[in-house]
Structure 1
Amino acid sequence: MNAEWAIADGNAETVDLAVTNEAETQRPKSTGIIETLTRRFNLRPTDEGAHPWFLLSGLFMVVGCVLLNAAAHQRQDEIGPVLLILAVVTVYEVAVLGIGCRFVGKGRRSGEPRTAREGHQLLGLLVVMTADLTFVFNELSVADLGIGTTLAGLALVWGLTKIGIATRVAGLRLGGTAWAVVVVSLGLTFGAALVARAVGGTGRLPEWFGHAVWWPAAGLLAAGLWAFSDPRGAERAAGLHWLRGLILLVPMTSALMHVLALHWMYHFELEPAYLSPVLLGLSVVIMLRVDRSAPKTRRLAEFCGLIGAVTAMSSRDVWRLELGGLDPIAFTPFRVWLAAAVVGYAVVWWRQRTLGLLLVWPLLGGAALMGHNLGMILDRVTGMFEQVWRAMRWLAPKTLWAWGTIVVGMAFVMLGIGAWTSSRRGGTQP
């Protein structure tokens, strides 16, 4: 028996050695530094298609362009280096688009899901590169307004073309709201600095511009939240929810960052009133998306609207519009916010018939008539209370005899009221 076990063990060792030798024979040999780095840092594609080399490539491209843009900002001739950066980024995007489309097509034809996922990952990288992460167009707006406007228009067309090709190749269907979010996002990304330069020139921007630029940004944020929470959009994604999220969130985030960059470029501070349109948009969208079965979420939406009104009233800016011989019309952030709130909450009421919203409008309308900002409204309210207090003091009795007379009279009045109410319900009958 022991001999048989020994022979069996010897055969097993022979088989193990044969399998090991065969595996070593089939193992690919190292091809140099790339294979060494891949093994050393585990830079192989995962089963989900996450290819580290593609991610590193995009990261290095963004960092390199940021460094080149910073170097171009220090030179006297800014146009040449900036155009070179745009050319390099465009060539890189064309390469990413071509490789991504090839991988997706190859994966579908051969039935290899990993290859198709790597292609989708490259298309996602293309969407990220569309967002002008290097703020090159802000530099162009300062260097040359004419060239910057032309290139911004071309960049908008090219960006929409890239996203259109990416969605078509990936088989991803976007709704009308999602496409509107993409168009407005890219428009703000490439055009916000150009509009600011056209309005303010090389000097200081007017006070109304800081308020005005946040209204399209707020509308964009509200539309993006609406499109992102659309259940039909999730069904159209067909398993590519992350790519749909990138197409919506990356351009939208880039647009908001470019709007924020204007405050740094033109040295005007952020005010709480700038948040009023953003909070209003969030409040309206949350109310439209959430029904009455989620009261806590609706309270959050109402709180956002209330804080938006308070922040709008905190501004003391007043702009006057003169029309011919008519009296000038005063515009304030709160009155502009109130006009937008009437439209937004009217849509909510029409969709859901919420009675509570009807009780809010008299308060907001009265506040708008009292003054332009929170300070003026509080002064008016304080003045009204003072007038009421003076009237009460004037009507109040001045002597103790007068007080006693009034109290005795009230006793007779209450006796009569009690008898009348008792007789109405038959209380006088035994």
Structure 2
Amino acid sequence: MTTTPRSLAEHVAAVLGRVAPLPVQDVGLPDLAVEPPGRSLGAEVRSVALVPPFDAAAMDGYAVRLSDLPADGSPVTLAVVGDLRPGSPPDPGRVLGGHGAVRIMTGAPVLGGADAVVPVERTSTGRFVAGGPTTEREVTLARQPRAHVRHRGEDVRPGDLLGRAGDAVTPALVAVAASGGLTDLPVRPRPRVAVLSTGSELVAAGDVAGAGRIPDSNSLLLTALARAAGADVVRVGAVPDDADALRAALDGVVGSTPGGSGTVDLVVTTGGVSAGASDVVRAVLDADDARLTDVDVAAVALRPGRPQALARWRGVPWVALPGNPVSAFVSFALFVRPAVAVLAGREPARPVRRPAAEAWPSPPGRTHVVPVRTLPSGAVARATAPGADHRSGGHATSTLLGADALALVPPDVEKVEAGDELDVLPLDLPFGTGT
């Protein structure tokens, strides 16, 4: 099978060309409120109601007419003529007369004729007793700098834009949509991603590895990354270096075998994508199989993460990443996270420009992806492993512990100098949203 040389940008385009936004569905606000994050709007959303729906008290106190309060702030004594609590229905036929005050709690409808609320702590009453009835017959108070009235429709009006297609469904959006008279939102599903790692040397985390065996950390890594990107994940774990076992695992996650876990939107594997005798992914990709289409094996001008492959298994997009842990991490950030964003109907994350805080060498010829940490100044420095003697490389996952971003050093740069502006991809952007 031919291996295609490719730039980083070309491979990103090749991956994104295989995915499309998932269909929009209307989901009730109560369900969205309890779901994990990761949903995005499939269409713009506008309010259908006034917020607040009536003039309401913004403080506990007394509703009054400003015309009854001297403009110079002198105190006056008014008769207490009523008591309004939250939940009291507005009574358009009832109007506050002159020289009277109505005891009112926050959120209660303001009586007609009243145009201000004086907070109770700024009156002769001082404070209200929770649950206590109206006992004061009069109150002494004065004009305040603020009216403390939330006017009808001052926050949201019918037709106001609450969110655009692609916006994340946040707790604030759910709350404002409910206040704005909506019962559901048009959203895209969280993408469902299957994660498999390959290698006969892998054992489950916590099992005794034994000679020549290592824990399967990659499937845990990619599962956590996919969840952080806003996906639901089907984690298969380790699959041995056996082509039939890998084919069976792929069939299982796309729902074609009895007991399969159901169709997924994306399959991500790690390992077995190079040209070694044990590279099982390449063995499956090289074989003639009706379940396999759109095979694309690439040598990306990228360090780490040069060997990459794409295909479809029973029509489901399959992204095959290298097996070295840091290579898998980098590849996920560059290729899989943007694909999850597109499936969810969002714009993929974009790099930002940041200066380098220090100099470091960079191998020319390929885009060098460097885990970095962002300093308080905004500049970035290379992330380091906890141990001073640890070396960095495609296997050194401990280097990632201090990283909050990836610096993308261009292929023609042999040395990054302090102060050089670099493209930097933040790792903590929620759900792959753009910046």
Structure with more helix by fraction: 1
Normalising by structure 2, report the TM-score: 0.21
* Higher alpha-carbon Rg: 1
Whose RCO is larger (CA < 8 A, sep 6+)? 2
Normalising by structure 1, report the TM-score: 0.21
Structure with more strand by fraction: 2
